């Protein structure tokens, strides 16, 4: 398959899959799950065919025509988008395996709708990853919001609907009220919104206006969850856990930080933005987000809410590190997307596995659960260590690069934030690890449970292995990503 048709296929295959899933759902559950898995595997294979081209320095692109003069609906694969697409499509396979265990183990209703919307969300994610310009990116960004709404409100009761309202309300208002005007602004001053290496705004926009435009983007892209537009993420935790795992640890939130990073690198241009003092506020805002979210996480008792606040902090790592505006920091931002994805999806898988097996949702209930669910809790531990940044986990690699970037830029604030937040991460994760393994069970649970369903355990074991594996085998990712950042120097 040539790269151009692979791009289009990557977006079309999940859509066709969605159709297949909704048809198969009427016939038989097993058939439906088969279609999901086949779609996920096909997608990952298609995405992987693009890899050799990218490594060789090729940038395949395909345009579906101009909508109005200057604005085209087009795709172009560069290393950053390639990585994001590979990450999301690869994890979708594992997530599908996990979903089967989770959804059946819980006897969830409307499973067909669940898998259908999931496939549409993945198609939108591919569109975001491969978008060649702001216009195309925005369309898929909105499709992703809309297609995940039924997933968040899946349960359909009053509380869930209220949370779903916060979710979709916040994401839509910020994107339409801030993101879209920012995009229109870029098109008007630069005459284009194409993602170009080195940026497109040099000489077109300068001074405080540049910092203001950056603000429109950062807060307009609500999916990046920089405070104060983070409220949707804890709200989204009412969704079934596979949704939280793939979408609110990987696809949706990474779509946010991916967009911010991509806009900083390809629209503003790292060097150009670094030279502009009015862009400095972003480090402060993200540092504040990291610390505040970590402190809030300290006080959570619900596992998924704790993970959500941890995600908010970790997302701001990415944005802060992108905002440090030095090559090492950009690499760190990109690597952290991957490292955090592996670690956080593992943690969510574990949280879901605990719920399926024991119906427990609170940290205070977890005493001694490690002995009942050793595989799950081992994976949980690995994920938590990666969040803190302990070697040998993926989290260590990305923190290394972020710190190196902060040194490069002499950015003391970023350095201090990294140190302090590492301490805070340890403060909320280590006690959990301790009670899980070393505390005695408070009371014997009503159902004398063991491990979660096999499918779920397999999935979380794989992601935990990936978390550790990323510590040792991150070379290809580094090689690929330094292609874009290298040109910046």
Partner 1 sequence: MSGWESHLPALQVIAPMILAPVVMMLAGRGVAWGVTTLVSAYAFFNAISLAAGALAGRTFTYKLGSWEPPHGIELHVDALSAVLLLVITGASTLALIAAERSISAQIEVDRQPLFYAAWLLALAGLSGIVVTGDAFNIFVFMEIASLASYILIAGGPDRRALPAVFKYLIIGTIGATFYLIGVGLIYLMTGTLNIADIVQRLPLAADQNSVLAAVGFITVGLALKAAVFPLHVWLPNAYTYAPHMVTVFLAACSTKVQLYVLIRMDFIAFQPNLADHALQFAQFLMPLAALGIVVGSAVAIFEQNLKRLFAFSSIAQIGYILLGASLVSETGLISSIVHMFNHALAKGTLFLAAAGLAMHFSSLTLSDLAGAAKRMPWTLAAMVAAGLSLIGIPGTAGFVSKWYLLSAVLERGGLGYALAALIVISSLMAVIYIWRIVETAYFGEPGTDTATVREAPSILLAATWVGALANVYFGLQPHVPATLAASAAQLLMGSTP
Select the residue interacting with partner 1 from 8, 45, 51, 172 (CB under 8 A): 172
Select from 3, 169, 211, 368 the one that contacts partner 1 (CB under 8 A): 169
Which CA distances in Å does 56 have to 59, 89, 284, 357, 478? Answer: 9, 21, 38, 47, 14
Work out how close the CB of 176 gets to partner 1 at its nearest, in angstroms, rounded to a whole number: 5
Q: Which residue number, 13 or 180, has a Cβ lying nearer to partner 1? A: 180
Between the alpha carbon of residue 183 and those of residues 71, 76, 344, 468, the distances in Å are 11, 18, 31, 39
Compute the least distance from the CB of residue 402 to partner 1, in Å. 33
Among the listed residues 204, 202, 209, the one whose alpha carbon sits nearest the alpha carbon of residue 189: 204
Question: 118 or 149, CB closer to partner 1?
Answer: 149
Rank residues 73 and 375 by Cβ distance to partner 1 and give the closer one. Answer: 73
Q: How far is the CB of 26 from partner 1 (least distance, A)?
A: 16
Q: Which is nearer to partner 1, 174 or 279 (CB)?
A: 174
| Closest to partner 1 by CB, 16 or 143 | 143
Does the protein bind partner 1 through residue 419 (CB under 8 A)? no
Residue list 22-81, contact with partner 1 (CB under 8 A): 64-65, 67-68, 71, 73
Separation between Cα atoms, residue 97 and residue 379, nearest integer Å: 16
Distance, CA of 401 to CA of 394 (rounded, Å)? 12
Of the listed pieces 74-82, 142-150, 223-231, 290-298, which binds partner 1 according to CB under 8 A? Answer: 142-150
Choose which of 52, 177, 207, 374 interacts with partner 1 (CB under 8 A): 177
CB atoms within 10 A of CB 350: 32
Name the DSSP letter for residue 68: E
Restricted to residues 106-135, the positions that interact with partner 1 (CB under 8 A) are: 135
What minimum distance in Å lies between the beta carbon of 112 and partner 1? 14
User: Which helix H or strand E contains 297, and what residues bound it?
Assistant: helix 281-298
449 makes contact with partner 1 (CB under 8 A): no
Write down the least CB distance from residue 160 to partner 1, Å.
11
Structure tokens at 294: 């970590």
Q: Decide: is 173 part of the binding site for partner 1 (CB under 8 A).
A: yes
Contact 310, 468 (CB under 8 A): no
Are 20 and 27 in contact by the 8 Å Cβ rule? The answer is no
State which residue, 7 or 379, has the beta carbon closest to partner 1: 7
**Residue 163 in tokens:** 């949370």
CB 330 within 8 A of CB 350: no
Report, in Å, the least distance between residue 20 CB and partner 1.
19
Would you say 164 or 319 has its CB closer to partner 1? Answer: 164
> Among residues 65 and 203, whose Cβ is nearest to partner 1?
65
What string of DSSP letters covers 24-65? HHHH-HHHHHHHHHHHHHHHHHHHHHTHHHHHTT---EEEEE
- The answer to the question of residue 191 lying near partner 1 (CB under 8 A) is no
Q: Is 165 in the site for partner 1 (CB under 8 A)?
A: yes
Distance (Å, whole) CA 379 – CA 142: 34
Is 215 one of the binding residues for partner 1 (CB under 8 A)?
no
- Out of 75, 138, 232, 317, the only residue in the binding site for partner 1 (CB under 8 A) is 138
d(CA 207, CA 189): 14
| 383 closest CA partner among 336, 359, 408, 347 | 347
Task: Report, in Å, the least distance between residue 73 CB and partner 1.
Answer: 6
Given the complex with partner 1, which of 161 and 275 has the nearer CB atom? 161
Q: How far apart are the first and last CA of the chain?
A: 34
CB of 139 to partner 1, least distance (A): 4
Q: How far is the CB of 134 from partner 1 (least distance, A)?
A: 9
Helices (H), 299-393: 303-324, 327-358, 369-372, 374-388
Under rule CB under 8 A, residue 372 binds partner 1: no
Tokens of 285: 């805002």
3-state DSSP call for residue 450? coil
Least distance in angstroms from the C-beta of 285 to partner 1: 23
8 Å CB contact between 425 and 389: yes
Residue 12: CB minimum distance to partner 1, A: 14
Q: In degrees rounded to 5, what are phi and psi of residue 67? A: -80, -55
Q: For residues 255 and 128, what is the distance between their CA atoms, to the nearest angstrom?
A: 7
**Three-state SS at 21:** helix
- CB 462 to partner 1: min, Å: 35
314: nearest Cα among 386, 377, 245, 244: 386
In angstroms, what is the minimal distance from the CB of 69 to partner 1? 9
- Binding-site residue total for partner 1 (CB under 8 A)? 28
109, 162, 359, 442: which one binds partner 1 (CB under 8 A): 162
CB closer to partner 1, 237 vs 351: 237
| Locus of tokens 């978390």 | 467
For partner 1, which residue of 142, 197, 271, 451 counts as binding (CB under 8 A)? 142
- Would you tell me which residues interact with partner 1 (CB under 8 A)? 64-65, 67-68, 71, 73, 135, 138-139, 142-143, 146, 156, 158, 161-162, 164-165, 169, 172-173, 176-177, 180-181, 183-184, 188
């Amino acid at each position: 398959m040539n790269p151009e048709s692979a791009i289009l296929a990557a977006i079309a295959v999940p859509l066709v899959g969605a159709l297949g899933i909704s048809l198969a759902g009427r016939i038989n559950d097993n058939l439906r799950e088969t279609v999901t898995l086949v779609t996920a595997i096909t997608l990952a294979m298609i995405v992987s065919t693009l890899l050799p081209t990218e490594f060789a320095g090729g940038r395949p692109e395909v345009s579906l025509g101009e909508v109005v003069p200057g604005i085209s609906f087009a795709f172009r694969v560069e290393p950053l988008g390639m990585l994001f697409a590979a990450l999301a499509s690869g994890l979708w396979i594992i997530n599908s395996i996990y979903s089967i265990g989770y959804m059946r183990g819980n006897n969830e209703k409307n499973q067909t709708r669940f898998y259908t919307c999931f496939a549409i969300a993945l198609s939108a994610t591919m569109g975001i990853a491969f978008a060649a310009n702001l216009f195309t990116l925005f369309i898929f960004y909105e499709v992703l919001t809309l297609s995940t709404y039924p997933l968040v409100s899946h349960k359909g009761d009053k509380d869930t609907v209220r949370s779903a309202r916060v979710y979709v309300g916040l994401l839509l208002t910020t994107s339409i009220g801030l993101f879209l005007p920012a995009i229109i602004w870029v098109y008007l001053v630069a005459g284009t919104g194409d993602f170009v290496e080195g940026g497109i705004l040099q000489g077109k926009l300068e001074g405080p206006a540049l910092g203001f435009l950056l603000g429109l983007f950062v807060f307009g892209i609500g999916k990046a969850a920089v405070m104060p537009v983070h409220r949707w993420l804890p709200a989204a935790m009412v969704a079934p856990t596979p949704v939280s795992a793939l979408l609110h640890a990987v696809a949706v939130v990474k779509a946010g930080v991916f967009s911010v990073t991509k806009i900083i690198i390809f629209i503003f241009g790292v060097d150009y933005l670094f030279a502009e003092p009015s862009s400095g506020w972003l480090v402060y805002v993200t540092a504040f987000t990291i610390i505040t979210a970590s402190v809030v996480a300290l006080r959570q008792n619900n596992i998924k809410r704790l993970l959500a606040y941890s995600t908010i902090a970790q997302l701001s790592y990415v944005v802060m590190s992108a905002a440090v505006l030095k090559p090492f920091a950009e690499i760190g931002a990109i690597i952290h997307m991957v490292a955090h994805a592996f670690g956080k999806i593992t943690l969510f898988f574990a949280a879901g596995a605990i719920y399926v097996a024991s119906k427990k949702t609170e940290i205070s209930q977890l005493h001694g659960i490690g002995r009942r669910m050793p595989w799950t809790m081992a994976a949980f531990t690995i994920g938590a260590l990666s969040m803190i940044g302990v070697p040998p986990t993926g989290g260590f690699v990305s923190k290394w690069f972020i710190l190196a970037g902060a040194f490069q830029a002499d950015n003391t604030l970023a350095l201090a934030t990294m140190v302090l937040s590492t301490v805070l991460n340890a403060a909320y994760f280590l006690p959990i690890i301790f009670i899980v393994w070393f505390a005695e069970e408070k009371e014997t649970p009503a159902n004398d449970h063991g491990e979660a369903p096999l499918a779920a355990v397999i999935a979380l074991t794989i992601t935990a292995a990936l978390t550790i594996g990323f510590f040792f085998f991150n070379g290809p990712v580094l090689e690929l990503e330094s292609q874009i950042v290298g040109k910046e120097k």
